[in-house]
Amino acid sequence: MTSKLLRLLALLAIYLLIAYLWPPPAGIKPTDWRLFAVFVSTVVGLILQPIPGGALVLIGVTASAVVGGLSIKSALEGYSDSTVWLVMAAFFLSRSLLNTGLARRIALLFVRAFGHTSLGVTYALALSDVTLATIIPSNGARSGGVTLPIVRSIAELYGSRPGETAGKLGTYLMLAVYQSICISAAMFLTGQASNPLAAQMAAQQGFPVSWTSWFVAGVVPGALSLLIIPRVVMAMAPPEVKHTPEARGFAADELTKMGPMSKAEWILTAIFIAVCGLWATSGWHKMDITLTALLGCAALLLTGVLLWEDVKTETAAWDLFIWYGGLLRLGRALNDGGVTKAFAQSIGSLFGDSGWVMLFVVALLIYFYAHYFLASITAHLLAMYPPFLALLILKGAPLGLVVFAFACFTNFSAGLTNYGTTPSPMFFAQGYSSMALWFRVGFVCSVVNIAIWSTFGFGWWKLLGIW
> How many C-beta neighbours within 10 Å does residue 288 have?
12
Distance CA 310, CA 235 (A): 43
Q: What per-residue confidence (pLDDT) applies to 97?
A: 81
C-alpha torsion angle, residues 466, 350, 344, 376 (rounded to 10): 80
- The pTM (predicted TM-score) of the whole model is 0.79
Burial 84-117 (b: 16+ CB within 10 A, else e): bbbbbbbbbbbbbbbebbbbbbbbbbbbbebbbb
Distance CA 130, CA 110 (A): 11
Kindly list the distances between the CA atom of residue 131 and the CA atoms of 134, 165, 386, 401, in Å, as whole numbers in the listed order: 6, 31, 30, 26
* Nearest one of 187, 193, 189, 184 to 202, comparing CA atoms: 189
Q: What per-residue confidence (pLDDT) applies to 26?
A: 82
Query: What does residue 243 show for φ and ψ, rounded to 5 degrees?
Result: -105, 130
Distance CA 78, CA 326 (A): 6
Q: What per-residue confidence (pLDDT) applies to 336?
A: 82
* Nearest one of 263, 289, 378 to 328, comparing CA atoms: 378
Q: What per-residue confidence (pLDDT) applies to 319?
A: 84
Q: What per-residue confidence (pLDDT) applies to 179?
A: 96
Q: Categorise residue 250: left if φ over 0, alpha if ψ from -120 to 50, beta otherwise.
A: alpha
* Nearest one of 349, 379, 353 to 25, comparing CA atoms: 349
Splitting the chain (467 residues) into consecutive groups of 10 residues, what average pLDDT does each group show? 85 93 88 91 83 89 92 92 82 84 87 89 91 80 77 87 91 95 93 88 89 94 97 96 87 92 94 85 81 92 94 86 84 80 70 80 90 78 84 89 95 89 84 91 97 97 96
Distance CA 331, CA 57 (A): 12
Q: What per-residue confidence (pLDDT) applies to 360?
A: 93
Give 327's Cβ-side CA count (13 Å radius): 33
